[in-house]
Structure 1
Amino acid sequence: MRTGRSRRAVLQLAGTAFGAAAGLRVGTDRARAAEYPEHPIRFIVPFAPAGPTDIMARILASNLGGALNGTVVVENRPGAGGNIGIGIAARAEPDGYTLLVTSSAFVVNPGLYTKIPYDPVADFAPIAELGTSPNVILANPTTGLSSIADVVARAKAHPNELNYASPGIGTTPHLAGELLKIVAGVEIVHVPFSGAGPAIQALLGGTTQLAVAALPPAHPHIAAGALKALAMTGARRWFDLADVPTMVELGYADFISDTFQGFLAPAKTPPAIVELLSAKSIEVLKTPRIADQLRNNGFEVIANGPVGMRGRIESEVPKWRDIIAKAGIKPV
Structure 2
Amino acid sequence: MNHDIAIDLGTANFLIVHQNEIVVDQPSVVAFDRMTNKMLAVGNEAMQMEGKTHDNIRTVRPLQGGVIADYNAAEMMIRGMMAMVGLRRSFFKPFIRMVVCIPSGITEVEKRAVEDSAETLGARRLYLVHEPIAAAVGIGLNVEEPEGNMVVDIGGGTTEIALIASSGIICNQSVRVAGNTLDADIELYIRNEYHLLIGQPTAERIKQSIGAALTDLPESRREYEVKGRDLLTGMPKQIVVTQAEIAHCLDKSLSKIEESVMKLLEEMPPELAGDIFLRGMYLSGGGALLHGLDKRLSQKTHLQVHVAEDPLRMVAKGAGLTLNNIERAGYLIK
Give the TM-score taking structure 1 as reference length: 0.28
Higher percent of residues as helix: 1
Relative contact order higher in (CA < 8 Å, ≥ 6 apart):
1
Higher percent of residues as strand: 2
Give the TM-score taking structure 2 as reference length: 0.28
**Which is higher, the Rg of structure 1 or of structure 2?**
1
